């Protein structure tokens, strides 16, 4: 069982943007989802844990490795899939993986073959192992990214927004691969797609404006909202009234142009509302809305 611990990790860029604001968290083995909107600081946090950039202050430990001061130690046990993953030479997946395995220090040919075959199989690329990676689809390239990071049997795997831009079938295949590897490692998946976390993660946190808003098991976070989410179908012209008078957390168009709205409230907010079962999207929007409201109140 591995453990990753962050204490008061903070980073302000030279342009004044506070990308990480006193982030403290403990992450154990399993699939961890880091959820947040664009600009929340997810990539900054992922790159910091991966030792690719230095925070202004704070501490990070993976078990007994002091990540910020023992970068090489961390890199030996890290698998990192960045948001964009460069250009591939015209080589087959199998040849490239053998090459990467050699670079990672797997000097025995038999051991290299065992690891490469394992990585190809677990990522469902074995059948297409002789095809050029440059010609792979986006989803296959992402799975190849996972195959290459598995070669040194990492303890900590970080994947930064891996499903953005994948079609639904590819996304599904990719999440299945993560599910396969998630049981034995710490896998941190950063994403702005709530369903990625819902389908996959046993633990999660929400990041917004560099701050951690909520760290809970998805199942518990949803349970916390039971009896507090209220739904209503309204005419689209009436939206302003509900935006100002209620704690509106989300609205979705229907085909006839009416809107389904969801409101967060401890008690029934009005006769016309019906109680609905909360889901993880509600958790996400409730926390973002509360953070937004707090930010507005602190300015006034």
Q: Does 9 bind ligand ATP (CB under 6 A)?
A: no
User: Around Cβ 17, how many Cβ atoms within 10 Å?
Assistant: 13
> Checking DSSP bridges between strand 65-66 and strand 229-234, what pairing results, if any?
unpaired
Q: How far is the CB of 13 from ligand ATP (least distance, A)?
A: 3
Q: Does 191 bind ligand ATP (CB under 6 A)?
A: no
Q: What dihedral angle (degrees, nearest 10) is formed by the CA atoms of 73, 54, 197, 285?
A: 160
In the stretch 131-170, what mask flags binding to ligand ATP with x, by CB under 6 A?
------------------------------x---------
Question: b/e map of 145-177 (b: 16 or more CB within 10 Å)?
Answer: bbbbbbbbebbbbbbbbbbeebeeebbebbbeb
Output 36 or 278, the one with its CB closest to ligand ATP.
36
Give the list of residues 6+ apart from residue 190 with CB closer than 8 angstroms, or none.
34, 36, 42, 43, 45, 46, 158, 159, 160, 161
Binder among 19, 106, 204, 205 for ligand ATP (CB under 6 A): 19
CB 125 within 8 A of CB 180: no
Output 19 or 200, the one with its CB closest to ligand ATP.
19
Q: Does 295 bind ligand ATP (CB under 6 A)?
A: no
Output 17 or 103, the one with its CB closest to ligand ATP.
17
Nearest-angstrom CA–CA distance, 144 and 147: 5
Output the furthest CA–CA distance in the chain (Å, rounded). 72
Q: How far is the CB of 223 from ligand ATP (least distance, A)?
A: 27
Q: Does 257 bind ligand ATP (CB under 6 A)?
A: no
Binder among 3, 8, 13, 111 for ligand ATP (CB under 6 A): 13
- Site stretch for ligand ATP (CB under 6 A), options 13-21, 66-74, 215-223, 242-250: 13-21
Strand ranges in the chain using DSSP code E only, listed in sequence order:
3-12, 18-28, 30-35, 57-62, 65-66, 78-81, 156-160, 186-191, 203-208, 211-216, 229-234, 248-253, 259-264, 274-275
Nearest-angstrom CA–CA distance, 290 and 284: 10
Q: Does 56 bind ligand ATP (CB under 6 A)?
A: no
Output 80 or 246, the one with its CB closest to ligand ATP.
80
In the stretch 22-51, what mask flags binding to ligand ATP with x, by CB under 6 A?
--------------x-xxxxxxx-------
Output 84 or 130, the one with its CB closest to ligand ATP.
84
Output 43 or 250, the one with its CB closest to ligand ATP.
43
* Binding positions for ligand ATP, rule: CB under 6 A: 13, 15, 17, 19, 36, 38-44, 161, 192
């Amino acid at each position: 069982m591995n453990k990753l611990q962050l204490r008061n990790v903070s980073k302000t860029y030279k342009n004044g943007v506070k990308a990480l604001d006193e982030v403290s968290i403990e992450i154990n083995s399993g699939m961890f989802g880091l959820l947040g909107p664009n600009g929340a600081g997810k990539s900054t946090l992922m790159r910091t844990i991966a030792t690719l950039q230095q925070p202004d202050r704070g501490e990070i430990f993976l078990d007994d490795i002091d990540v910020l001061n023992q970068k090489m130690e961390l890199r030996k046990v890290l698998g990192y899939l960045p948001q964009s993953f460069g250009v591939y030479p015209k080589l087959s997946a199998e040849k490239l993986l053998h090459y990467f395995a050699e670079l990672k220090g797997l000097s025995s040919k038999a051991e290299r073959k065992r690891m490469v075959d394992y990585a190809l199989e677990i990522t469902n690329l074995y059948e297409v192992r002789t095809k050029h990676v440059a010609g792979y689809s986006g989803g296959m390239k992402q799975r190849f990214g996972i195959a290459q990071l598995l070669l040194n049997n990492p303890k900590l795997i970080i994947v930064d927004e891996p499903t953005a831009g994948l079609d639904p079938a590819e996304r599904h295949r990719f999440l299945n691969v993560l599910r396969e590897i998630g049981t034995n490692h710490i896998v941190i998946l950063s994403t702005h797609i709530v369903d990625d976390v819902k389908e996959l993660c046993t633990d999660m946190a929400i990041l917004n404006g560099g701050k951690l808003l909520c760290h809970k098991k998805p199942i518990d976070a949803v349970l916390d909202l039971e009896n507090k989410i209220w739904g209503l179908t309204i005419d689209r012209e009436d939206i302003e009234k509900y935006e100002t008078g209620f704690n509106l957390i989300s609205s979705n168009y229907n085909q006839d142009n009416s809107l389904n709205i969801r409101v967060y409230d401890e008690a029934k907010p009005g006769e016309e509302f019906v109680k609905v079962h909360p889901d993880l999207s509600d958790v996400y929007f409730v926390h973002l809305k509360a953070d937004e409201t707090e930010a507005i109140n602190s300015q006034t």
